[in-house]
């Protein structure tokens, strides 16, 4: 992982070179999250969003034995046992905003837990103000593996930003 985040356009950029580093970064974000936070994950297919979500779950205090899998079919998976309930959603398969609303997914934003939403740029207008955004894209190869670029914005006063050393 890069030694420090690079501030870009008011956000932060990290590079990871393997799934364990991406998970570790997710864990660091998760450690600073509180009930009510919404984290919007965006990026092409297979760019590490679910891998990062596993780290967030650890950071929220869920046991490492919790199996965080992509909720592609169930739309939302709910995990209890951490500092806040984790709602992990994936809206990839939803065709319209009307489907999102009729599936009751909007209610999770206000359910008092932490929401992680994959494919969150489908309908950007539904994201609550103050959502944290993380954008994932491949940035090439290194001898250690695929390099992933993670761009964070909307961190506000999150403790994530105050602990710059990674």
Binding site for Mg ion (CB under 5 A): 49-50, 70, 118
* Strands 38-42 and 132-142, sheet pairing: parallel
Residue 148's binding partner, choosing from Mg ion, ligand ATP, none, with beta-carbon cut-off 5 to 8 A by kind?
Answer: ligand ATP
Closest-approach residue to Mg ion (CB):
50
Burial class (CB in 10 A: 0-12, 13-18, 19+), 93: exposed
Q: Please, what is the Cα angle at 118 between 74 and 95, to 5 degrees? A: 65
Closer of 36 and 147 to ligand ATP (Cβ): 147
| Minimum separation from the CB atom of position 157 to ligand ATP (A) | 27
Distance, in Å, from the CA atom of 59 to the CA atom of 47, rounded to the nearest integer, reads: 20
Q: Which string of x and - marks every residue 102-131 that binds ligand ATP (by CB under 6 A)?
A: ----------------x-------------
Determine if 140 is a binding residue for ligand ATP (CB under 6 A): no
Q: Taking the C-alpha atoms of 30, 13, 150 and 98 in order, what is their torsion angle to the nearest 10 degrees?
A: 80
DSSP one-letter code for 92? T
Binding test (CB under 6 A) with ligand ATP, winner from 26, 28, 39, 47: 47
Q: Residues touching ligand ATP: how many (CB under 6 A)?
A: 18
| Minimum separation from the CB atom of position 47 to ligand ATP (A) | 4
Largest CA distance in the chain: 46
| Minimum separation from the CB atom of position 112 to ligand ATP (A) | 25
Q: Taking the C-alpha atoms of 101, 105, 106 and 112 in order, what is their torsion angle to the nearest 10 degrees?
A: 160
Residue 158's binding partner, choosing from Mg ion, ligand ATP, none, with beta-carbon cut-off 5 to 8 A by kind?
Answer: none
Residues near ligand ATP (CB under 6 A): 16-19, 22, 43, 45-51, 70, 118, 145-146, 148
């Amino acid at each position: 992982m890069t030694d420090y985040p690079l501030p870009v356009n008011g956000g932060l950029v990290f590079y990871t070179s393997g799934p364990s580093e991406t998970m570790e970064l997710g864990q660091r974000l998760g450690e600073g999250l509180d009930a009510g936070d919404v984290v919007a994950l965006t990026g092409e297919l297979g760019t590490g969003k679910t891998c990062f979500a596993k780290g967030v779950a650890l950071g929220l205090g869920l046991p490492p034995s919790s199996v965080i899998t992509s909720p592609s079919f169930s739309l939302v998976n709910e995990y209890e046992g951490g500092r806040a309930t984790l709602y992990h959603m994936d809206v990839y398969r939803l065709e319209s905003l009307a489907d999102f609303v009729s599936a009751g997914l909007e209610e999770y934003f206000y359910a008092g837990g932490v929401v992680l939403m994959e494919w969150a740029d489908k309908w950007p207008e539904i994201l609550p103000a103050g959502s944290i955004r993380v954008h994932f894209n491949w940035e090439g190869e290194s001898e250690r593996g695929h390099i992933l670029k993670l761009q964070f914005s909307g961190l506000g006063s999150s403790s994530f930003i105050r602990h710059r050393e990674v």
